[in-house]
Each structure stands twice: as C-alpha cells, then as structure tokens.
Amino acid sequence: MTAIATRPETEHRGTTAPPARRRDSERLFNRVALGTLIALAVLWLVPLAWALATSVRPAQEVVTNPTGWFTAHPTLKAYGEIFDAGKLPYWYANSFITSILTTVLTVIMASLAAFALSQTRFRLRRAAFVMLLAGIMIPGQVLMIPQFLALQSAGLLNTYWGVVLPQVPNVVAVFVFKQFFDGIPRELIDAARADGAGWLRTYWQIVMPISRPAVSAVTIFVFVGVWNNFLWPLLVVTDPEMMTLPVGLTSVQDVFGVPYAQLMASAVLGAIPLLAVFALFQRRIVEGIAGTGLK
C-alpha cells in the first residue's frame, strides 16, 4: 500500500525467438498451453451458458430433462413471468439510484480528502494520514450491527440514504486519488495558487480535470461494488419495493416451487447490467486493476 507507483506499460511480449534446436519443444509447449487454456476458458463459460440455455427452455422440459442444453421450442416465457411479478423494475431502479448516489458522493469526498492530504500542508496532516491508513484495516462488514443501529435511530432504514451513506467512507478510494494527485507536477498547483486561486478552485478547476483516469477508475469500481453489495442492503432494506437487485432476486420468493427456468432467467437478468458494463469498459477495468496501487 505504501509503495504506490504506476508502472509504465511495457509492450506486449510475444513468444521469444529461441535457438533452432529449442523450437520444437517451444512449439509443443505452446500447443499444450493453448489447449489447456481453451479448455479451461470454455469450462469457465459453462455456468453462464447453461443459465442462459435453461432460461429459454419451456418449464416442463426443464423438469423432464433438467440437464439438457438445447430446446426445440425456445421461449421467453420465464422472463415474462419475472417481469409480471412486478418488482423487477423497482429493483433495477433502486440498484441504479443507490449505486450512482454512492459513487458520486464517494468520488467527491474521497478526492477532496486526497487533495488535502496530497497538496496542502496542515497540522495533524501526518496523524490524519496514519488514521486513514488504519481505516484500511477495518473490515466494514464486522461493523454491521452498530451501523444498523445508527441508521435505525436516524430513521434512515428503508431509504436510499440508509443504503448509501455507510458505503461512502471508502478509504481505498482516497488512496487511489492521493496516489494520482501525488504525481501532479508541483509547479501546476503553485502557478494556480500564484494566480490567486483558492484551494477549492485549484482542486476543481486544475486538479480534477486532469484526474479523469482516477475518477473513472474509482467510479467503475465503487459502482460495481455497491451494485453487488448484498449483506448491507439485506439488513437496511426490508420493503420489497425498496430492495436492490441482488437482495430482491434472492429474498423475495415466488409461490409453489419456483421453476428453474425462471430462477435462471433471474440470474441472467441480474447478470446483464454488469456484464454490459464490463463489456464496455473491459480494457479500462483491467488496466485499472493492472496499475493497482496495492502493489
């Protein structure tokens, strides 16, 4: 955590050019490697593919032949039934609203704090930094009981704020910003200050515009984290129409033994939004992890 350094991208290495007598073993090794990889990758895709395949099969067919893959009569009936049950649009909306709110608040607060720690000098700066560092080691889930009680006494259970607020103090996000801000040339800040800009203006007009990569990395990961959070919304949201997607999909039940086609359709519906985000931002996400400051 302390060794925060962004690694420059090296060019992709292909296989190295070996001496001629080594070429055969090299080629063989490559073939085995490729075969293994493809086999594993296909295996990795099986659960999602099976869910997709099951979700479009008629319910009766799933009962008679549960492990079949293909159907002669594909149907979207299971999806229709889920939508008819009526709560899915709420869950999507709730997940979307809470994720956006948390992300926005986190980005603003974490970047402000990081800016203060990185660029300004104040008393107790070091103490503040150490305290923050200690915060990384507090596992949030362990504090679920007092957090719940605090929100209960504030009357915020079953509101978006109840889901959002406890997820805002994200220490790692501060470090991500701080690491980025530390790399900003000092002269840039000094010049702005010399022009008479206050700290807030420097932050907003100089620093933030050039910190888009940090902002988007934090955005994506906070968004995904909040969208996928299960335990916390499970506690604070009990009203079926206030639930987030993961909680709603797994705690609100249908009567009379939910057909598997329908269960798999819910799984697919739950998977789609983030798979879409991933497909759109694949490189960004992967680069984000690759350049991780946690190294």
Question: Which two structure tokens, joined as six digits, stand for 100?
Answer: 């956006």
Q: Which of residues 132-161 bind other proteins (CB under 8 A)?
A: 132, 135-150, 152, 155-161
Q: Which of residues 212-271 bind other proteins (CB under 8 A)?
A: 212-214, 216-219, 221-222, 224-225, 227-228, 230-231, 235-236, 238-242, 245-247, 249-257, 260, 263-264, 266-267, 270-271
Q: Which among 24, 13, 82, 138 has a CA at the least distance from the CA of 263?
A: 82
CB of 73 to other proteins, least distance (A): 19
Helix (H, G, I), strand (E, B) or coil at 256: coil
Query: Distance between the two ends of the chain, CA-based, in angstroms?
Result: 6
Fill in the DSSP letter of residue 2.
-
Question: Which two structure tokens, joined as six digits, stand for 268?
Answer: 């697919």
Is residue 117 a contact point for other proteins (CB under 8 A)?
yes
Is residue 198 a contact point for other proteins (CB under 8 A)?
no
183 contact partners, CB below 8 Å, separation of at least 6: 6
CB of 173 to other proteins, least distance (A): 6
The span of 38-46, 73-81, 188-196 binding other proteins (CB under 8 A) equals 38-46
User: b/e string for 206-244 if b means 16 or more Cβ within 10 A?
Assistant: bbbeebeebbebbbbbbbbbbbebeebbbbbbeeeebbb
Q: Which of residues 55-114 bind other proteins (CB under 8 A)?
A: 66-67, 89-90, 92-94, 96-97, 100, 108-110, 112-113
Q: Write the single-letter amino acid at 2.
A: T
Q: Which of residues 4-33 bind other proteins (CB under 8 A)?
A: 4, 6-10, 12-19, 22, 25-26, 29-30, 33
Size, binding site for other proteins by CB under 8 A:
159
